[in-house]
Structure 1
């Protein structure tokens, strides 16, 4: 079944002007120099110390781009961008074009829906993101919660999992969701991010955990025996995201809220997480 959901949690910032590409290129984790109209790339704005502040999608337009960001943080992001603008010839403005998503609840990919839609770059199963786009004929309208349930099933975390200024982007799997371009050159927080990737210093990642019953409260400890292996971030019945220490959580019998649990490594993460888990202590 193909589902259409308005994303009321997302909002847009319009970026234009002669220097828009060079301006963003020096700030965010994603390359924008080669971005084409009608293409979306996933990325983030980091702190100078390399921690993840906010995720974003850069959506190419004929005269600039949109930044697709969390609605509740749009004003703060706009303020941060304005602070960095200095003498750059860049125009920044809020844009009320609605954001939506088109995705499938089965394994069949959603066919290209046409104008106003761009491919979600993070994972093939995530379908298409719409900007001022109408629901295609035959699509079933659903609430945004259905989209979040699909992401949980795929093992794709969300902003509520990584928060702001808490985790490094690699801990939130941005490197595996095509959210960091390690070849683009300098950006804010680049030094720490590149060093973690180069040295393999990836001790923790967000992974799904499975268990019986309702989701534990965010912040609940995940234990491997009597040792802390991580903490719950968000979840639903029988499944949640947790920030886990890979050396303790993978292959171990876990408990959460007194219940047996186990870590699950989605197939799209398997190679990278397996390599990281074997890094020395």
Structure 2
């Protein structure tokens, strides 16, 4: 069975879920991540990132409200990077009454159906939910890349790519209405000047070169950071084409 044909409900085995809890959990995250955490609800998760002070992506994740604790937040992140993310958050915690733990929740996905909620980045990505163990599958990655959506350290890099170059504005990964967070100054400046000269894109593997971030031979695709005036044969879905067509400010 091909990668892209397995679009039914499946557990994403490469994801893990952290829990940030305590009386100041939401306020703590609000001052760190790109998303508005205070307005998070169980039926509306949000994609966000933890950045360097220069506004470059270190971690990306999906934030979920914990239905059992109005102050707690569940962080749907890469399993291989979960401990590194937890350690990074603990560096910022200082003496705040906040706990950061790894949960037993698993992340599940389906292309269509009634389970879960819509992926906060793009409706076409399908449905997502947290639960117990399930049957792992491989259809998610091919589906995501076919829509031009990148994620994770292999594609976004570790402090190498500006958050808006990761298409964060177009994929609902940043709030420009909230207060300060790590990397906010440069991110806001780029947004208001509409100055995003490079983008992470998905392109045919045949175009791979020294700048290629991630290669997927089984899909014939790769991920690369390119100048917007040199996209070549990159996949340019409607959501990205609309952003690239926006006129630059006078």
For the aligned pair, the TM-score class normalised by the smaller chain equals 0.7 to 0.9
TM-score, normalised to structure 1, is 0.78
Q: Using the alignment, how far apart are the partners of 1:238 and 1:61 within structure 2? A: 38
- Residue ranges of structure 1 left out of the alignment (5+ in a row): 104-109, 136-140, 222-229, 255-261
2:143 — aligned with what? 150
Task: Quote the Cα distance in structure 2 between the aligned partners of 1:234 and 1:216.
Answer: 10
Structure 2 counterpart of 1:257: none
Match of 1:270 in 2: 241
The structure-2 alpha-carbon separation of the partners of 1:83 and 1:238, relative to structure 1 and needing over 3 Å to count, comes to closer
Cα distance change on mapping 1:131 and 1:90 into 2, 3 Å: same
Partners of 1:61 and 1:191 lie apart in 2 by 29
- Paired residues in the alignment total 240
Of stretches 152-161 and 17-26 in structure 1, the one that deviates more from structure 2 is: 152-161
Give 2:64's aligned residue: 59
Structure showing greater radius of gyration is 1
- After the TM superposition, which residues 1-281 of structure 1 pair with which residues of structure 2 at under 5 Å, given as runs? 3-62=8-67, 63=69, 64-103=72-111, 110-113=112-115, 117-132=116-131, 143-144=137-138, 146-159=139-152, 160-210=154-204, 215-216=205-206, 220-221=209-210, 231=212, 233-236=214-217, 237-249=219-231, 254=232, 262-275=233-246
Contact 2:212-2:222 within 8 A present in 1 as well: no
Q: Which has the higher strand share?
A: 1
What's the CA shift for 1:119? 2.5
* Aligned residues of 2:113 and 2:127 also touching (Cα < 8 A): no
Q: Is the 8 A contact 1:155 1:266 kept in 2?
A: yes
- Give the TM-score normalised by the residue count of structure 2: 0.87
For residues 67-94 of structure 1, the C-alpha deviation after alignment (integer angstroms, 9 at most, x for no partner) is 1111111111111111111122212111
What is the DSSP-based 3-state SS (H/G/I as helix, E as strand, rest coil) of the residue aligned with 2:50? strand
Counterparts of 1:133 and 1:95, CA distance in 2: 10
Deviation at 1:217, TM superposition (A): 8.6
SS at match of 1:263: coil
